[in-house]
Amino acid sequence: MKFIKRIVISLIALYLLIIFMLLAFQEKIIFHSETLPQDHVFTSSLAFEEIYLKASDDAVLHGLHYKQENPKGVLLYFHGNARTLEYWGEWAEQLSSKYKYDVVIMDYRGYGKSMGKRSHQMMLEDALLFYDYAKTKFSEEEITIFGRSLGGAFATHTAIKRNAKLLLLESTFTSVYEIGKKRFWFLPLKWLLKYPFQNIQNIQKISMPTYMIHGTSDVVVPYEHGQELYKKSGSDTKKFYTIENGEHNNLISFPEYFKALDEILN
C-alpha cells in the first residue's frame, strides 16, 4: 500500500512539475524571438524608413516602411514567431518590389529593436498602432492586412478593430490552444495559456474580403486549421488557396504560391 501511495505522490509531483515548466517556459515555446542592437543598420535596395511607435505602456515598437514611388496601396504585414526584421525585411522588400505596394512590417515585443514587457493584450494593441500608422499614409481602401502563422492572430485582431481593403492569411492556426493540446493533451491548457492567441472567433466577425493560403504538408500548423478558418469565415467574398505538398516554411518555393498572390494583389 505504501508503495502505491509513493507512486501516486510521485505522479502528482511530476504532473505539477510539468505544469510549472509550461508556465515558466511558455514564452520560449511560443516566441522564438531574437533581438537586434538599437544601432543596427538596415539596408535595402528600396527606399525605406524605420518606424518607432510608442504604446500606451510607453513600450517602443520598431518597424520598417518600404516605399514605392507610385504604390498601389500598402501591405500591413505581421510575420511569424521566429526571426526579426533583419530577415523579414528581405521578404517585405520582395513583396514591395514584385507587387508595387508599400509594405509596413513590425517586430513584436522582444524581437529585433522592439521593446516592452510582453502580454497578450498589449501585443494585440501594438498591431493596431501599426495599422494606425499606415492609415496616416493611406486610406482604408488601400490597406491590405497580411498575417503569416503567428502573425495571423495580429492580422485578424486588426481586421475586427479596423477597416481595410482585404485580409490575407498564410499558414495560420485556429488557436494556440488547438495547436498546444495535441502535444499537451493531459494538461488544463485553457487555464494555463498566458498567450491565448486565436483566429477562430475573430474570423467569424470579419466581413471584409478574406483570402487564405495553406500547404497540405504543414506539420506546424496543420492544413485542417486553414480549412476550418475558411469554413467559419464571416466574409461573403473569400477564397482558399491550397498549396499541394507545401510545408510551413517553404511555400515561396512553389509557383502556385505566387500565382495566388498574383491573383489577390494584382
pLDDT tens by residue, 18-54: 666 666 667 888 899 999 999 999 999 999 999 999 9
d(CA 48, CA 103): 9
pLDDT at 96 over 70: yes
User: pLDDT grade, residue 259 (50/70/90)?
Assistant: very high
Number of Cα atoms under 13 Å in the Cβ half of residue 1: 0
User: pLDDT grade, residue 10 (50/70/90)?
Assistant: low
Backbone angles phi, psi at 247, to 5 degrees: -100, -170
Backbone angles phi, psi at 91, to 5 degrees: -70, -40
C-alpha pair distances (Å), 99 with each of 34, 60, 134, 177: 29, 30, 17, 35
- C-alpha gyration radius of the chain: 20
pLDDT at 162 over 80: yes
pLDDT tens by residue, 181-228: 887 777 777 888 899 999 999 999 999 999 999 999 999 999 999 999
Place of cell 511558455: 26
Please state the rounded mean pLDDT for residues 60-76: 98
C-alpha pair distances (Å), 219 with each of 123, 185, 205, 206, 222: 26, 17, 27, 27, 5
Q: Worst-scoring range by mean pLDDT, 3-7, 125-129, 142-146, 183-187? A: 3-7
Burial group, residue 134, by CB count within 10 angstroms (0-12, 13-18, 19+) = buried
Expressed in percent and rounded to 5, the helix, strand and coil fractions of the chain are 45, 20, 35
- CB-CB contact of 72 with 100 (8 Å): yes
- CB-CB contact of 122 with 57 (8 Å): yes
pTM for this entry: 0.93
pLDDT tens by residue, 74-85: 999 999 999 999
pLDDT at 3 over 80: no
Please state the rounded mean pLDDT for residues 160-179: 97
pLDDT at 65 over 70: yes
pLDDT at 62 over 90: yes
pLDDT at 158 over 70: yes
pLDDT tens by residue, 110-122: 999 999 999 999 9
Report the mean per-residue pLDDT for the chain: 93
